[in-house]
């Protein structure tokens, strides 16, 4: 179970639709309830009552696309701040921001509020090398990218092919230029990139207990055996992450489960195996509580080991969000990796293309994007032209879904810009722009794939929705031909 992001579900407001305690218990695994009662003691009734309340709805504004003030106060739906995320906002259940054109334009990402905490605590900075090891569906990857401000390199990885495709689509929708999407196992990446990353996020696959309120499938799939299986998998993933983290780097581990075996227990086992790691206190906000070492330590342990109380838990009965666990770990400069050169993995990096190979793109850029400067290395995959981040490591031999920003398709004597490029551009960067209102019939027709009437200079136009880039059109005579991707068109 992952971060539990989804667009809409028409749920009632929080606190409505109350059911009896018996009904709540009937919908949850008995062994889970017994353990939670032991863990929470006097708080258990409050915890149980939280299951009588409907899920919380939230979104995160994409600062790569716009300023927060351009959305908050101007959006056609109510927004109130999420305390632990400066770009996070709650919205009412009856509202449908996932169906609004701004969602298609990448203005925001529909994301569960508690799931915004791990990437916030990662503390990503522009120019760094960062890995989101278990990245799908993309909420945390795109949140990290926003903090990086298109500078540095972000590897967004997902081991499952179908989920990796969704991850890649969300990286594109949010207009990310410095993101690379891979579909690899943690073991393969660890072999390729030892001690390479400044920061790594491991939002690990888990038993999903924190999402029981909003996900009935998670309840049905739960078992004590599954908890143990998840804990073992988390140990393996984290060992790979430690190998890839540079000395002095930061590792954030998170889950959406309450199970101590997967939370404090996983951190305890990791620190027992790697003494060069240490926990760093997670700044706990209102409604968050410190992790409990007693839930993870072997019976009879006299002292708290490794500072497990530096970790935090987000509880659905204490805050507006679902259940989550977060730990920050840092790696000292001591250890066998300290003497290894960091540049070993840089040898053999793919060189950029000569101008003659990308002449059609350079002509397009000069004509339509005269003021755009994009940093990186041009790479061709067949006729598809990509801009790979300048700090990117070697990618040869890996399963790569998106090696960087997809610029477009090189065709005979011409260049056709990609949808990804449109979403990554701001209107002021493009020579010709067709501005449409999000409430207009014209924009609705454009999103259905229809041509638009109108006069203008022949050539490519950036289409905008209330000033936010959403796709391309090509003016020919009195018609603007539609280049909105067929797979994204509305019925």
Q: What string of H, E and C letters represents the secondary structure of 8-23?
A: CCCCCCCCCCCCCHHH
Give me the tens of pLDDT residue by residue for the chain, a chain 491 residues long. Answer: 554 444 333 333 333 444 456 656 768 999 999 999 999 999 999 999 999 888 899 999 999 999 999 999 899 999 999 999 999 999 998 999 999 999 999 999 999 999 999 999 999 999 999 999 999 999 999 999 999 999 999 999 999 999 999 999 999 999 999 999 999 999 999 999 999 999 999 999 999 999 998 888 899 999 999 999 999 999 999 999 999 999 999 999 999 999 999 999 999 999 999 999 999 998 888 889 999 998 887 565 555 666 899 999 999 999 999 999 999 999 997 554 444 444 444 443 455 788 889 999 999 999 999 989 888 999 999 999 999 998 899 999 999 999 999 999 999 889 999 999 999 999 999 999 999 999 999 999 999 999 999 889 999 999 999 999 999 999 999 999 999 999 999 99
Residue with tokens 């009856």: 94
pTM of the model: 0.92
Asked if residues 375 and 161 have their Cβ atoms less than 8 Å apart, the reply is: no
**Would residue 256 show up in a list of annotated catalytic residues for this protein?**
yes
Measure Cα distances from 99 to 56, 88, 102, 110, 135 in Å.
18, 18, 8, 11, 24
Cβ neighbours for 390, distance < 8 A, ≥ 6 positions apart: 153, 375, 376, 377
Tell me: cis bond preceding 211? Omega within 30 of 0 counts.
no
Asked if residues 266 and 233 have their Cβ atoms less than 8 Å apart, the reply is: no
Helix axes 224-244, 264-273, angle to 10 degrees: 40
Count of alpha carbons within 13 angstroms of residue 446, beta-carbon side: 32
Asked if residues 446 and 452 have their Cβ atoms less than 8 Å apart, the reply is: yes
- List helix spans (H) across 304-440: 359-368, 419-424
Q: Cα separation of 206 and 3, whole Å? A: 10
The pairing of beta strand 288-290 with beta strand 312-314: antiparallel
CA torsion angle 161 163 165 170 (round to 10):
-160
Q: Cα separation of 146 and 152, whole Å? A: 12
Catalytic residue among 177, 240, 256, 297: 256
Q: Cα separation of 443 and 224, whole Å? A: 50
């Amino acid at each position: 179970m992952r971060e539990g992001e989804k667009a809409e579900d028409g749920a009632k407001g929080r606190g409505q639709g109350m059911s009896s305690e018996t009904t709540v218990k009937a919908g949850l695994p008995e062994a889970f309830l017994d353990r939670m009662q032991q863990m929470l003691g006097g708080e258990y009734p409050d915890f149980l009552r939280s299951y009588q309340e409907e899920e919380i709805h939230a979104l995160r504004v994409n600062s790569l696309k716009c300023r927060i003030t351009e959305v908050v106060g101007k959006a056609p739906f109510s927004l109130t701040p999420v305390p632990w995320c400066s770009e996070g906002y709650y919205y009412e259940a009856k509202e449908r921001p996932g169906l609004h054109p701004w969602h298609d334009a990448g203005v925001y990402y529909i994301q569960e509020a508690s799931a915004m905490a791990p990437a916030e605590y990662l503390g990503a900075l522009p120019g760094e090398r960062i890995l989101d090891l278990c990245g799908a569906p993309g909420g945390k990857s795109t949140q990290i990218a926003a903090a990086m401000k298109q500078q540095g390199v972000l590897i967004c990885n997902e081991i499952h092919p179908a989920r990796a495709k969704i991850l890649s689509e969300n990286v594109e929708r949010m207009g990310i230029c410095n993101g690379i999407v891979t579909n690899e196992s943690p073991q393969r990446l660890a072999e390729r990139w030892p001690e390479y990353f400044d920061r790594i996020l491991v939002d690990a696959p888990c038993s999903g207990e924190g999402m029981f309120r909003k996900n009935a499938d998670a309840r049905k799939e739960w078992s004590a055996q599954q908890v143990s299986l998840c804990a073992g998998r988390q140990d393996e993933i984290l060992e790979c992450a430690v190998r890839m983290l540079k000395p002095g780097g930061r590792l954030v581990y998170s889950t959406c489960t309450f199970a101590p075996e997967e939370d404090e227990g996983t951190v305890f086992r990791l620190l027992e195996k790697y003494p060069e790691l240490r926990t760093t206190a997670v700044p706990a906000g209102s409604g968050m509580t410190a992790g409990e070492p007693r839930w993870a330590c072997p019976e009879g342990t006299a002292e708290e080991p490794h500072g497990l109380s530096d970790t935090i838990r987000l509880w659905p009965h204490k805050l507006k969000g679902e259940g989550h666990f977060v730990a920050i770990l840092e790696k000292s400069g001591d250890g066998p990796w300290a003497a290894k050169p960091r540049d070993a993995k840089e040898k053999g990096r793919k060189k950029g293309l000569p101008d003659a190979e990308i002449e059609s793109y350079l002509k397009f850029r000069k004509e339509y994007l005269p003021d755009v400067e994009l940093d990186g290395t041009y790479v061709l995959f067949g006729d598809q032209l990509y801009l790979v981040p300048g700090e990117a490591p070697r990618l040869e031999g890996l399963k790569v879904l998106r090696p960087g920003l997809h610029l477009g398709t090189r065709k005979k004597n011409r260049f056709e810009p990609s949808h990804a490029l449109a979403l990554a551009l701001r209107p002021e960067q493009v020579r010709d722009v067709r501005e449409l209102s999000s409430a207009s019939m014209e924009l609705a027709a454009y999103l259905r794939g229809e041509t638009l009437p109108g006069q203008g200079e022949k050539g490519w136009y950036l289409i905008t929705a209330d000033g936010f880039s959403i796709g391309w059109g090509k003016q020919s005579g009195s018609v603007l031909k539609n280049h909105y991707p067929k797979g994204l068109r509305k019925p």
